[in-house]
Amino acid sequence: SDKQKEDLGMSTADAEAGGEVQITHPERVVFPKQKLRKGDVADYYQRMARWILPEIAGRPLSLLRCPDGVGKACFFQKHHGPGLGDAVHAVPLQQKSGREDYVYIDDTRGLLQLVQMNTLELHPWGATVADPEHPDRLVFDLDPGEGVSWAQVKAGARDVRDRLQQVGLKSFVRLSGGKGVHVVVPLQPKAGWDEAKAFCEAFAQAMALEQPDRYVATMSKAKRGGVIFIDWLRNTRGATSVCSWSLRARDSAGVAVPLRWEELARVSAADAFPMAKALARAKRLKGDPWQGIARLKQTLPRMDL
């Protein structure tokens, strides 16, 4: 019974399918600075499931797990293993070393079982389990160097959007919940990873070539201060980006929040939405800030950027 579980220091969260997922040690502190506990994290993901699942269901995932909370050791996990829960599935994917089982979920129950295993951040592939060799999402990850202002980051995101528009691609924006923003391009899964990667690299390099005082397209130059690294390397096979509405395992506890482009102007930082603010935003939302993303039918342009 619930009373017995309380006595054992457990709480339960009703999942839509398959009954409840037991969250052990809900009292355990996960974000010390914000005084948020494992139970708060479980409540958050339960309440946000309807927004998060369309972003991650049926996609290979990297999980950032933090068994001792934020500020202590966290680790990325992409492989399936025992003890993850009955709604956490395995998909065999070909790697250099052979086939390896990757993690994916389909539903709220799976999401909460990941939370039970102390997952804080969810990082999907830009491709689905059903068609892992053909990306259906590209991510341009804008990483501001030292001394780059938030206004410059926002201008950079709009610059990426406008340039994408010029080659016929509509894009969507999200705060990373950390320092930068992600510009996301939905694609019909037609091109392979090599083609997607080549497009993204050429796109980033074109930006860096035209405005070298603002942008760099190589990791080595990214360390140079004052410029934004257009990180196109998220768009390689096996790479991931944090999903919209994921919590971030950082001191500021920002959430990776998707925005309408018009909203970007009013936002003051990439980590402007800690858990409570993200929940409030989700509650207020009338529709998906990325309205129409699932219906867009676009493909990579020819490579003469």
Which residues in this chain contact ligand ATP in the complex, by CB under 6 A? 62, 76, 123, 141, 143, 176, 178-180, 231, 234, 240-242, 270
Residue 240 binding: pick among Mn ion, ligand ATP, none (C-beta 5-8 Å cut-off by kind):
ligand ATP
Residue 171 binding: pick among Mn ion, ligand ATP, none (C-beta 5-8 Å cut-off by kind):
none
Choice between 109 and 179, CB closer to ligand ATP: 179
For Mn ion, the binding residues in 206-245 under the rule CB under 5 A are 231
The SS3 assignment for 46 reads helix
129 closest CA partner among 175, 88, 93: 93
Token pair 């003469």: residue: 304
Choice between 144 and 189, CB closer to ligand ATP: 144
Choice between 150 and 261, CB closer to ligand ATP: 150
Residue 241 binding: pick among ligand ATP, Mn ion, none (C-beta 5-8 Å cut-off by kind):
ligand ATP
CA-based angle 66:58:236, to the nearest 5?
A: 75
- Minimum Å gap between C-beta 270 and ligand ATP is 6
With contact defined as beta carbons under 8 Å apart, do 125 and 132 qualify? yes
Cα–Cα distance for residue pair 63/103, rounded to 1 Å: 9
- Minimum Å gap between C-beta 107 and ligand ATP is 22
Token pair 């269901």: residue: 57
Instruction: Report which secondary-structure segment, H or E, holds 197.
Output: helix 193-210
In whole angstroms, how far apart are CA 227 and each of 103, 139, 206? 35, 19, 15
Choice between 181 and 191, CB closer to ligand ATP: 181
DSSP-derived letter for residue 146 is T
Instruction: Report which secondary-structure segment, H or E, holds 104.
Output: strand 98-105
Amino acid letter, 83 = G
- Minimum Å gap between C-beta 117 and ligand ATP is 17
Choice between 113 and 241, CB closer to ligand ATP: 241
Q: Which residues bind Mn ion (CB under 5 A)?
A: 141, 143, 180, 231
